[in-house]
Amino acid sequence: MATIESECSGYYGAEMGQLEEMQIFVRVVEAGSISRAAEQLGMAKSVVSRRLAGLEARLGCSLIQRTTRRLSLNDNGQRFYQRCLGILDEVNMLNQEASTQSDALTGTLHVAMPLSFGLNHLNSAFDAFMQLHPQLRLKLSLSDSQHDLVAEGIDVALRIADLKDSSLKARKITPINFVLVASPQYLQQHGQPKQPHDLTQHQILHYANLATPSWRLKDAAGQIHQVQYQPHISANNGEFLRDMSIAGHGISLCPTFIAWRAIATGSLELVLPQYQIPNLHAWAVYPNTRYLPQRTRRLIDFLCERFGDNPYWDQALNQHLAHTN
């Protein structure tokens, strides 16, 4: 029986089918099931099962323990998986080094992104990126839910967050600023708040993905004001809350990338603009266990250059405010 180490070493000179077996095995391990791996690979489940069984037969040992609920690696499988990662990363590096003379990007790039940010600003960005790289295949997942990048086979995810997940590598794309807004009609009827505590007397529209119904505002002296409220309307989408504010249903905390146009047209007015609201960032995050392919690296570079530290929606909003004040 060949050892895991000798089999892995032999893959350096192996034919392409063996590398494909390694890729299939890694995807099954990370997806957690054969059916999910088959879906991500665009292959029939029976083909993935057959290739996995053929791999184990050729190695002369089992790699995966199968139960009715889940797949798990045995000791052989764990060693083989780790070596596969190294070999596949080296193959990717060799391919990337060989293609450095060409600007053409190929293969499939799977990207996850927040729904509203994607629809409002990333559609035009990805259009421009694909115009530059027409041979690239793009797979996009738009959702405000958190993704398991490794299990779902996602190359890079764009997240708006105070990022704390140390298992992922990350790069800042652009700042995400926030404003309190309400319609002129609402403020005329209910009055303009003068200080943070006044917000407790108003109808508040709450972003449901926040852990608690509260806002933090900082005054000119640097003092933090924590405002807790009872939501009048709660929703998990910022565009819906913006539209409800425009309709006069209350005050909402909106990212400027969602609210900037409504403020510029006068559909929304700023509330307590003299107070600062903590900002977040849009990040590009990717698995820590992977060599970053050229197509992923080029996309991240492109997005950083396109949006930068002062994105166009903030520039437009600041110009509008400077003109009206």
Answer for the pair 85, 26: CB distance below 8 angstroms, yes or no.
yes
Residue 69: the pLDDT is 66
Distance (Å) of CA 274 to CA 79, 220, 264, 271:
58, 7, 18, 9
Q: How much is the CA Rg of the chain, to the nearest whole Å?
A: 25
Instruction: Return the H-helix or E-strand segment holding 112.
Output: strand 108-113
Provide the 8-state DSSP code for 199. Answer: G
* Residue whose structure tokens are 């999910």: 36
Residues 173 and 185: their CA atoms lie apart, in Å, by 36
Which position has the token pair 């299939």? 24
**pLDDT tens digits, the chain, 325 residues: what are they?**
445 444 444 444 444 578 888 888 888 888 888 888 888 888 898 888 888 888 888 888 888 887 666 778 888 888 888 888 878 877 777 776 665 555 678 888 999 999 999 999 999 999 999 999 999 999 999 998 888 888 788 899 999 988 765 567 899 999 999 999 999 999 999 999 999 999 999 999 999 988 889 999 999 999 999 999 999 999 999 999 999 999 999 999 999 999 999 999 999 999 999 999 999 999 999 987 667 888 899 999 999 999 999 999 999 999 999 988 7
Q: Give the pairing of strands 251-255 and 71-73.
A: unpaired
At which residue do the structure tokens 């704390």 appear?
164
- The whole-angstrom separation of Cα 30 and Cα 84 is 12
All structural domains of the chain, each given as residue ranges with its CATH number in brackets, are: 4-98 (1.10.10.10), 108-171+282-324 (3.40.190.10), 178-278 (3.40.190.290)
DSSP annotation of 196 reads G
Distance CA 324, CA 164 (A): 39
Contact yes or no for 314/260 (Cβ under 8 A): yes
Distance between CA atoms of residues 145 and 323, nearest Å: 38
Pairing type for strands 214-218 and 224-228 reads: antiparallel
DSSP H helices, the chain, are 4-10, 16-31, 34-41, 45-59, 75-98, 115-117, 123-132, 184-190, 238-246, 256-264, 294-307, 312-324
Residue 27: how many other CB atoms lie within 10 Å? 20
Please report the pLDDT score of residue 38 as a whole number: 87
CA dihedral of 307, 310, 314, 315, whole degrees rounded to 10: -100
- The SS3 assignment for 14 reads coil
Sign of the dihedral defined by the CA atoms of residues 150, 151, 156, 159, in that order: negative
Return the SS3 of 216.
strand
Q: What are phi and psi of 212, to 5 degrees?
A: -135, 150
Say if CB 31 and CB 69 are below 8 A apart.
no
